Amino acid sequence: MQTTSWLILAFPLAGAIINGLGFRALKGRAPGIVGTVAIGAAFISAVLTLIKLQDLSPEHRGALFVGWDYAKTVGVDAKVSILVDPLSVYMALVVTGVSTLIHLYSVTYMTSDRGYARFFAYLNFFVFSMLVLVLAGNFFLLVVGWAFVGAASYLLISFWYRRTTATRAGIKAFVINVVGDIGIVLGTYFLFRNTHTLDFIGTFRQAGTIPHGDLTAGLILLLVGAFAKSAQVPLHTWLPDAMEGPTPVSALIHAATMVTAGVYLIARMWPLFEHSAAAADVGTIVGALTLLIAATIGLVVTDLKRVIAYSTMSQIGYMIMAVSAGAYAAGLFHLMTHAFFKALLFMAAGSIIGAMAGEQNLDKMSGFRRAMPFTFGCFVVGGLALAGVPPFSGFFSKDEIIAVMGQRGGWHWVLFVVGYIGTFLTAVYTWRMIFRAFFGEPVAEAAELEHGHLHHAEQHTNPANGEVEDTDVGFPGPDHHIAEWSVPMRAAMGILAVGAIGLGFLQLPFNGTNVVDKFLEPSFRGSKYFGSLHPTDSLTTIGLIVGAVLSLAGIALAYRIWVVKPGTSTAIRERLSGVHRFLVNKWYFDELIDLVVVRPFAWFGRFGQQTFERIFVQGALVDGTSGVVRAGSATVRALQSGLVRAYASLLVLGAVAVGLYFLLQS
Amino acid sequence: MNIGWYLAVSALIFTIGAAGVMTRRNPLVVLLCLELMLNAANLALIAFSRMWGNSDGQIFAIIVMVVAACEVTVGLGVIVAMARRSVPIDVDELRELQG
């Protein structure tokens, strides 16, 4: 087991190094194949680890493998160690499994891009970082993985580095992620100063002995990290902008894997969160707020990928809410089903964007149903799963979360209601997107595609601001690809579609098939919620019925607004223009952050520059020092008259003075 | 004879030389005055040497003469070069060292 679990990390790293250093030698699609094989091998290693893990008795499922001591000084035990238990293996399986398919999809999707090898090097590096994060056995390695993932995300968002909008989005994502990194580091400090160990298991063992104030402060700081990485309010503004990256990146990083790191972190830290109800409540409430806010914004966004991005935020809100409130298995189950259907939706969106020659605006799309039946099918499967229609996977996972909220009782009933409002909104915005893109009169691009010809833009432009671009390195390549015409893309999407349909059966309600529950159980041994927090049968029944009805009602509403009476949305928008403006401006979060953080800091910076820098540093320190030196040297220079006789006189005078001194001394 | 007389002569010659170096503007005369100073020092060295009945001071005087010869060679060479380039033969005019 030790070998296979280290191999999970080794393969992606090897792929990143081969692609990163060997990009000159690797011709054609070789980098893509190397990258895909590397991740595929990591997936196989993860499966082998799983098999070996299942061979052990449940009490012994969980092993800490120490690679080497990184630093061992006064009281700090920073080791490179990985923790292999059901939870980390579960995450590793999801990450490597979905990543393999997305790599496969990218092999074709990115073909014409000049940065092909660079793309796969980054993508492999990302998977490596993510696996370091999930396999980390102590806080030290967790921070390393956490920061690596942020860096990989930055590199991939800014992959088209000559697009100013993309580089800007990359910087935004990186800065907000660094805020989260600081939260993680400081949170670790608060825990470490009480436990004196960085090791997870050692920390958890002492969870009860940490003073309550320090524990809550540390956990809230850890939550800041989780919120930044998982795009939760108010640190979410980077995620929609991150859609500037290539579509496979959006599918892999900003939907399926990286943004779920916060969910994993909270689930991993469960022994601590169960000792601090305050911190857990913060997580629960922020998750609920995010799921509602993101869902409302999703109703009005017109950029295809951003609609899916907001739905990602919303779904991660569900997961954060779940794991913070003790519904660990439900949250992690939703994490897995979401990874499948969201990656599928992004891939299908990539196919449409390919057909639209890079255009992402929903207003310009219509009637792709006949032109791209396969993409349409995938979109429908993903949309049904996301909306939570039975028996698709999202139905079971989402309703389990909501039912557990009801089971917690007390104020968690509010979250129960919020969850169902979210379900309804999710169905509306998801199907708004599908109806707008696939139904109605075919646009020119769709009509062209129906005749078997893929539209090519006369001039390549940035879809965000219309700037004219070329197709050289640093910009997207000249050719676009759609799923219908490419076997690898179809294969990847087909597998994901099967997962999106069928994964729900892993964990059927009423103790049907509790595969996820049973598998994760050893990781949550001793939890006060994991074993006991099961919704009653009546609650589950009501939940399932309400969930199914609400999601179907949402789809029906979307159908009515955007298909039956296409003018309705305009009418609603005009009647509720204030609400619409509020939502289009994304609840003014960008402006709020600008007002609260950016401007005060900019003002403080200007103030510092004008007063401290200009008057003290420049005036007193720099000019003062140089003034003293200048005055001194001016005096000395005046003595250099150039008159030899004067020098001789000085010499004689000096000698006489020395002589006189010694005479007088004696 | 008392050593004081020798030293008095030596000091007199040294003062004359130093005053010449400080006041005269012709480099030839300045060189001459430098020689005076060196020889005043030599006189003092030899006087002390006789006083102690020991030849170290005499040897030292010979070394000083060698140094003086070298110095005169260089100095005269400079003066000849100045004359050839029709630079004014006046130490006060040579002020390139001014800061």
When pLDDT is cut at 50, 70 and 90, the band that residue B89 belongs to is: confident
For the stretch A90-120, pLDDT in tens is 999 999 999 999 999 999 888 888 888 999 9
| Cβ atoms of A307 and A301 closer than 8 Å | yes
Q: Are B22 and A638 within 8 A, CB to CB?
A: no
Q: Which of A425, A419, A390, A421 is nearest to A405 (CA)?
A: A419
Which of residues A565, A584, A603 is at a domain's end?
A: A584
Question: What confidence score (pLDDT) does residue A58 get?
Answer: 81
Is A638's Cβ below 8 Å from some Cβ in B?
A: yes
Is A663's Cβ below 8 Å from some Cβ in B?
A: no
- For residue A236, being part of any structural domain is answered with yes
- Give how far the C-alpha of residue A150 lies from the chain's centroid of Cα atoms, to the nearest Å: 8
Task: Give the chain B residue nearest A637 (alpha carbons).
Answer: B99
Q: Are B98 and A639 within 8 A, CB to CB?
A: no
Are A271 and A172 part of one and the same domain? yes
Please name the helix (run of DSSP H) or strand (run of DSSP E) that holds residue A608, with its range, or none: none
Per DSSP, the three-state class of A261 is: helix
Kindly report which listed range (A30-34, B78-82, B90-94) carries the lowest average pLDDT score.
Answer: B90-94
The parent domain of residue A433 ranges over: 2-584
Question: What confidence score (pLDDT) does residue A511 get?
Answer: 67
Are A551 and A577 part of one and the same domain? yes
Question: What confidence score (pLDDT) does residue B10 get?
Answer: 95
Supply the DSSP string of A327-395, one letter for each residue: -HHHHHHHHHHHHHHHHHHHHHHHHHHHHTTT--BGGG----TTT-HHHHHHHHHHHHHHHT-TTSHHH
Are A51 and A173 part of one and the same domain? yes
For the stretch A578-601, pLDDT in tens is 888 888 888 888 888 889 888 999
Are A467 and A599 part of one and the same domain? no
- For residue A142, being part of any structural domain is answered with yes
| Residue A31: cis peptide before it, omega within 30 degrees of 0 | no
| Cβ atoms of A119 and A554 closer than 8 Å | no
d(CA A158, CA A170): 5
Question: What confidence score (pLDDT) does residue A256 get?
Answer: 81
Measured at the alpha carbon of residue A481, what is the angle toward residues A479 and A484, in degrees to the nearest 5? 150
- For residue A542, being part of any structural domain is answered with yes
Question: What confidence score (pLDDT) does residue A413 get?
Answer: 87
Q: Which residues of A touch B99 (CB under 8 A)?
A: 636-642
Pick from B23, B25, B95: CB nearest A642:
B95
Task: Give the chain B residue nearest A655 (alpha carbons).
Answer: B18
For the stretch B38-76, pLDDT in tens is 999 999 999 999 998 888 899 999 999 999 999 999 999
Q: What is the pTM of this model?
A: 0.80
- For residue A437, being part of any structural domain is answered with yes
Mutation for B interface: A636, A645, A647, most B CBs within 10 A: A645
Pick from B22, B95, B97: CB nearest A649:
B22
- Residue B99 predicted with pLDDT over 70: no
- Residue B13 predicted with pLDDT over 90: yes
Is A649's Cβ below 8 Å from some Cβ in B?
A: yes
Q: Are B91 and A638 within 8 A, CB to CB?
A: no
Is A640's Cβ below 8 Å from some Cβ in B?
A: yes
Q: Among positive and negative, which fits the CA dihedral A288, A290, A291, A293?
A: positive
- For residue A324, being part of any structural domain is answered with yes
Question: What confidence score (pLDDT) does residue A662 get?
Answer: 95
Q: Which residues of A touch B82 (CB under 8 A)?
A: none
- For residue A314, being part of any structural domain is answered with yes
- For residue A631, being part of any structural domain is answered with no
Name all domains of chain B by residue range, CATH numbers in brackets: 3-91 (1.10.287.3510)
- Give how far the C-alpha of residue A531 lies from the chain's centroid of Cα atoms, to the nearest Å: 30
Are A615 and A557 part of one and the same domain? no
Token couple for A558:
């979307």
Are A614 and A537 part of one and the same domain? no
Which of residues A517, A552, A584 is at a domain's end?
A: A584
Domain count, chain A: 2
Q: Tell me which residues of chain A have a pLDDT lower than 50.
A: none
Are A602 and A574 part of one and the same domain? no
- For residue A634, being part of any structural domain is answered with no
Q: Which residues of A touch B25 (CB under 8 A)?
A: 645
d(CA A343, CA A384): 14
ipTM: 0.85
Are A512 and A479 part of one and the same domain? yes
Are A336 and A412 part of one and the same domain? yes
Are A601 and A555 part of one and the same domain? no
Characterize A165-196 residue by residue with b for buried, 16 or more Cβ atoms within 10 angstroms of its Cβ, and e for exposed: bbbebbebbbebbeebbebbbbbbebbbebbe
Are A297 and A342 part of one and the same domain? yes
Query: What mean pLDDT value characterizes chain B?
Result: 90
d(CA A232, CA A223): 10
Are A541 and A617 part of one and the same domain? no
Q: Are B21 and A645 within 8 A, CB to CB?
A: yes
Query: What number of other Cβ atoms are within 10 A of residue A638's Cβ?
Result: 9
Q: Are B99 and A638 within 8 A, CB to CB?
A: yes
Token couple for A39:
């991740």
Task: Give the chain A residue nearest B18 (alpha carbons).
Answer: A652
| Residue A234: cis peptide before it, omega within 30 degrees of 0 | yes
Pick from A640, A644, A648: CB nearest B99:
A640
Q: Which residues of B touch A636 (CB under 8 A)?
A: 99
Q: Among positive and negative, which fits the CA dihedral A286, A288, A294, A297?
A: negative
